[in-house]
Structure 1
């Protein structure tokens, strides 16, 4: 090798080149120089190895990058036959195998049922790679015992550790739901309300574990499951530590072996990369911050590059600011993410309980930011919509038409069109009203009045009045104008004359009719999928409120809001109001001058006593104007019948 006359790189540049951390143009430049320079080669020989870099280079995978669905083209667990159920499991005396759910680096997961108790469970068969000696088996049982001591609604319960032949498996709570990485893959970035609520729930589970001296070490969207009831469950407590210990080689107990069970590069804390065994709860909080970033951005903090480059990103760089990705995230939420993802553990929140308190103003449905979840997609700057990996799947709600408006019909013409069914039925008072209008004897002061006695304005400004003369039920679905009455969500009128709305946050529809002072509103519906509330918006004097059924993952029923208090705290709260998807229900609100009664399937559920003056709509159900209406929160729902019966003026 010859000496070159070109300027030598600095020692810092040579160290970066040696450790593989240079950008590609600089790396190529120095590589060309070193290939011709004996002096620089001598310098390279004196540079000590960086343990962290060595471990990153040695990394091939983490504990588990999430379960690979059955049928994946590239299975990551091949020691047992992933395509068939092992005979030892098929013949197990206590568990009946139903189906294989997925597979990952830790093993294969099956849905099963306890034969005697008829309880659904999940069986995680641990990879034989991790159970290769008696010490590993002992560690596995120790970790399962530790995990079994955790009992919290936000942690998947570990029931038992079993053996079938030479296979060892963990018996866990079966979760009917979806992981958060799958949820984001389906919906792209989540509304601020949902993202904060899910992370807040996960932090509650982590606090429970922290108080019992347990650290997860692999928090990520794949390990957070959202149940059909909207509850977040943390998976695999104890297994992360078990895998870390089991991967240690007696011949090489050092850094390289330890890195194989370090965590997941996309969500790994910097200190965890340096020494996974010493990572404490603050490493879990860093991973939780990365998860919140993922839910809001639609991708991990460092989405590009190899595992090596991602780990270095967590150690040395800052991710793209959330404010550049979306313009609807409150600055306080961005600050929470940044503090969770601080490079130094001392600069982060120190306990999960602190995270819960910080997220409460943004993660509750009655928060000031609840309206964020009403949009079908987060607000993305136009400059980013051309970037394919950031472009959200757009499920736009039906909006008011912005095309050239048609000539507006007179108030009388619109009123007659809205009430053509009643006119055809020949109600006595309605007939008289029509006759007076036709004869031209109906002056401005004689227009139908609302409950406050004032004249009803154009139907685009106020709801259409309902005559209160007859006791007949009036079909309201036939009167709905989708473009004009849709507030949020994808609504349609089916060929059967039913209203249907797809699953989406805060879907709601106005029913633009001004009822008399006393009336009955009856709605027949089926929640086809989802886990959130169905709402009937009603008018009571000067008040506009909603009757909520199976509300906000807490199975609550009641009237929202009374003196500003929601159903969690007001007197109409009813617990354990649980809707079964696929079943048809009838809900009814009976509005009277001194009270409102709410019924479900003919049974009185709750009663509000008052004149309506202290009733308001919950923020997430807000309507553009006071009106009757329907709501379906994050639930695919069919409204088979919506009808109103006037009782008295």
Structure 2
């Protein structure tokens, strides 16, 4: 570093940095400076220790990279940018550099390709500051070996440890996705269902590591990546511990004690701040609980103040209750967050597996909590369309796990049971009327049938009989009655006769038409924004299900549910069904007595063989009654055309 051209921090700034009392922006600036300045490091060595600060000072020396998450879009590397790439990497015999993904205190990350295998990978070049002696290099390789033993779908795979000249780098799985902190930055907070699902997946990865004796030490939203298929991946296993140990030196115990990187202040367990040696898997669970709080609240548990003040908050204070921030979080989920964030490790869950067991029911698409609880359903006058008056939030996860599966009961059956006495009395009255009519027609030369089918109106949700021409298309958008048919979401019929819904969790609408036994449902739509599924709800005999397209953050297409199994587990699953936002698509469902076929842009995606008796609607798409319908999950969508063609009664 050229001493004549560098502006060093003032002694007061260095002392404030040492004691962790700087604002975050100043802390990062000075931390970046001292990482390359031996002069300022010498000054820091002379600052007297504060006993309390000595215990938690490491919080201000975070190993948070601040990296652009792996997989985030950045300009592709061009030849003219070659000067920014170290020559040793450009000339590496096995890897071809594609682009730089980001950089931070731990080093620089590049997207690269293995020349022989043509596999895209991420190369994390470790900062020379962390590799400054042979002992650090040895520790790096030890940690990489430990990380390489972890093989789990929720942990980023470490392929290899390489060297290029004097540079050491880790070869990792390349993740095409977004970190959870960026996801919340785009739209905060996120739905309860997604938050619980993401944290459950992370806990599954932590359980795998725990069973192999590994602790992460820096769990936070920045280190949790969501792939385009909705899978959560934990980054940097092993590197957190390596960063902690690499700065230790037998010749310099003072600086080591003060600059041991323990984690990130926003998500750090109290015992981890006091003594890093006490940080076991329960510290990771505390950090994961803080992450769940962040996903649900849209901010960290202690969002204000310096790093020092945030660590004190974790040690001594309680964050703002989630119940004051949102009113749609089940009390059971709030209790889970509070237990994960208990100050004492003994009061938390003791293993990640316990977190999975308690949180998983709230993060499953078939969960009773999967439907949108923030949208009030409109009142519907027809009792046949009234939503069942159940209160799923009264069930705890334990109660649900112990309860036996109950047979599917249609809304009509539930209505009949509820009103059985009224029906019985009404039946007596109807019988009397029939008797009078029969007597009045006795001896009439042209007796009328008491119940002329043509004179009986269809139920409110099915106001029109079938067209006279069985091949005639029926426009269903023109029959929609807003807001009566909207179940969830902000739906509008545009002046040009299209159906539009804003982005929102579980948006769905009923289509008021009674289909015949066999028919074709044809829908043309454009997903304007979002990355979640579009659904066509169809009736097949006594059953109802949905044709999901680009479903459940996993780019799946198929029919759900079949015999209780969603598209992730039943035979209709099709992978890599990815919708391109802004493009117009045509989806079709062809319902026949023994078969249902689902098409996208004329291509047959999936087929169901059966009579519909084993079809049920995913709880995520639940409707008040068996009805045709449309769904758009977290996706701003325009339905240009929705029509039905009867084939046979």
* 1:279 correspondence with 2:279: yes
Tell me how far apart the structure 2 counterparts of residues 251 and 330 of structure 1 sit (CA, whole Å). 54
Residue aligned with 2:112, SS: strand
Query: Contact 2:226–2:232 at 8 Å: present in 1 too?
Result: yes
* 1:245 correspondence with 2:264: no
Q: Tell me: CA distance 1:531–1:109, structure 2 relative to 1, closer, same or farther (3 Å).
A: same
Structure 1 counterpart of 2:116: 116
Tell me how far apart the structure 2 counterparts of residues 82 and 464 of structure 1 sit (CA, whole Å). 69
Structure 1 counterpart of 2:168: 168
Mapping 1:507-526, distance limit 5 Å: 507-524=507-524
Structure 1 counterpart of 2:579: 581
Query: Contact 1:247–1:257 at 8 Å: present in 2 too?
Result: no
Match of 2:458 among 456, 459, 482: 456
Alpha-carbon offset, residue 515 of structure 1:
2.2
Tell me how far apart the structure 2 counterparts of residues 337 and 314 of structure 1 sit (CA, whole Å). 14
Mapping 1:39-438, distance limit 5 Å: 51-57=51-57, 59-64=59-64, 66-67=66-67, 84-253=84-253, 257=257, 259-372=259-372
Q: TM-score, normalised by structure 1?
A: 0.72
Residue aligned with 1:358, SS: helix
Residue aligned with 2:303, SS: coil
Query: Contact 2:489–2:507 at 8 Å: present in 1 too?
Result: yes
Residue aligned with 1:589, SS: strand
Residue aligned with 2:292, SS: helix
Tell me how far apart the structure 2 counterparts of residues 622 and 347 of structure 1 sit (CA, whole Å). 38
Q: Tell me: CA distance 1:530–1:120, structure 2 relative to 1, closer, same or farther (3 Å).
A: farther
Query: Contact 1:477–1:641 at 8 Å: present in 2 too?
Result: yes
Tell me how far apart the structure 1 counterparts of residues 464 and 202 of structure 2 sit (CA, whole Å). 46
Alpha-carbon offset, residue 596 of structure 1:
3.3
CA deviations on 1:233-272 (whole Å, 9 max, x unpaired) are 1011010000000121333335863554110011111111
Q: Tell me: CA distance 1:604–1:141, structure 2 relative to 1, closer, same or farther (3 Å).
A: closer
Tell me how far apart the structure 1 counterparts of residues 249 and 493 of structure 2 sit (CA, whole Å). 64
Q: Tell me: CA distance 1:50–1:448, structure 2 relative to 1, closer, same or farther (3 Å).
A: farther
Structure 2 counterpart of 1:607: 608
Alpha-carbon offset, residue 516 of structure 1:
2.4
Tell me how far apart the structure 2 counterparts of residues 82 and 247 of structure 1 sit (CA, whole Å). 31
Structure 2 counterpart of 1:538: 538
Q: TM-score, normalised by structure 2?
A: 0.72
Tell me how far apart the structure 2 counterparts of residues 135 and 463 of structure 1 sit (CA, whole Å). 79
Residue aligned with 1:514, SS: coil
Query: Contact 1:522–1:644 at 8 Å: present in 2 too?
Result: yes
Answer with 305-314 or 512-521: which moved more.
512-521
Tell me how far apart the structure 2 counterparts of residues 187 and 373 of structure 1 sit (CA, whole Å). 18
CA deviations on 1:393-441 (whole Å, 9 max, x unpaired) are xxxxxxxxxxxxxxxxxxxxxxxxxxxxxxxxxxxxxxxxxxxxxxxxx
Alpha-carbon offset, residue 125 of structure 1:
1.5
Q: Tell me: CA distance 1:49–1:250, structure 2 relative to 1, closer, same or farther (3 Å).
A: closer
CA deviations on 1:179-229 (whole Å, 9 max, x unpaired) are 111111111112111111100000000011111111100000110011111
Tell me how far apart the structure 2 counterparts of residues 260 and 491 of structure 1 sit (CA, whole Å). 54
CA deviations on 1:470-507 (whole Å, 9 max, x unpaired) are 31344545665676655444667789976665654323
Q: Tell me: CA distance 1:86–1:528, structure 2 relative to 1, closer, same or farther (3 Å).
A: farther
Alpha-carbon offset, residue 112 of structure 1:
2.1
Answer with 491-500 or 318-327: which moved more.
491-500
Runs (5+) with no aligned partner, structure 1: 1-18, 22-47, 71-80, 377-443
Structure 2 counterpart of 1:407: none
CA deviations on 1:151-177 (whole Å, 9 max, x unpaired) are 111111111222223222211111111
Answer with 616-625 or 632-641: which moved more.
632-641
Tell me how far apart the structure 2 counterparts of residues 128 and 106 of structure 1 sit (CA, whole Å). 9
Structure 2 counterpart of 1:629: 629
Q: Tell me: CA distance 1:58–1:634, structure 2 relative to 1, closer, same or farther (3 Å).
A: closer
Residue aligned with 1:371, SS: coil
Structure 1 counterpart of 2:5: none
Alpha-carbon offset, residue 564 of structure 1:
5.0
Structure 2 counterpart of 1:10: none
Alpha-carbon offset, residue 111 of structure 1:
2.0
Mapping 1:467-506, distance limit 5 Å: 467=467, 469-477=469-477, 485-489=485-489, 504-506=504-506
Tell me how far apart the structure 2 counterparts of residues 646 and 374 of structure 1 sit (CA, whole Å). 36
Q: Tell me: CA distance 1:86–1:530, structure 2 relative to 1, closer, same or farther (3 Å).
A: farther
Q: Tell me: CA distance 1:174–1:475, structure 2 relative to 1, closer, same or farther (3 Å).
A: farther
Query: Contact 1:217–1:279 at 8 Å: present in 2 too?
Result: yes
Alpha-carbon offset, residue 67 of structure 1:
1.6
Q: Tell me: CA distance 1:259–1:551, structure 2 relative to 1, closer, same or farther (3 Å).
A: same
Q: Tell me: CA distance 1:604–1:288, structure 2 relative to 1, closer, same or farther (3 Å).
A: closer
Runs (5+) with no aligned partner, structure 2: 1-18, 22-47, 71-80, 377-449
Tell me how far apart the structure 1 counterparts of residues 540 and 100 of structure 2 sit (CA, whole Å). 53
Tell me how far apart the structure 2 counterparts of residues 97 and 495 of structure 1 sit (CA, whole Å). 52
Q: Tell me: CA distance 1:136–1:20, structure 2 relative to 1, closer, same or farther (3 Å).
A: closer
Tell me how far apart the structure 2 counterparts of residues 83 and 498 of structure 1 sit (CA, whole Å). 53
Tell me how far apart the structure 1 counterparts of residues 638 and 366 of structure 2 sit (CA, whole Å). 25
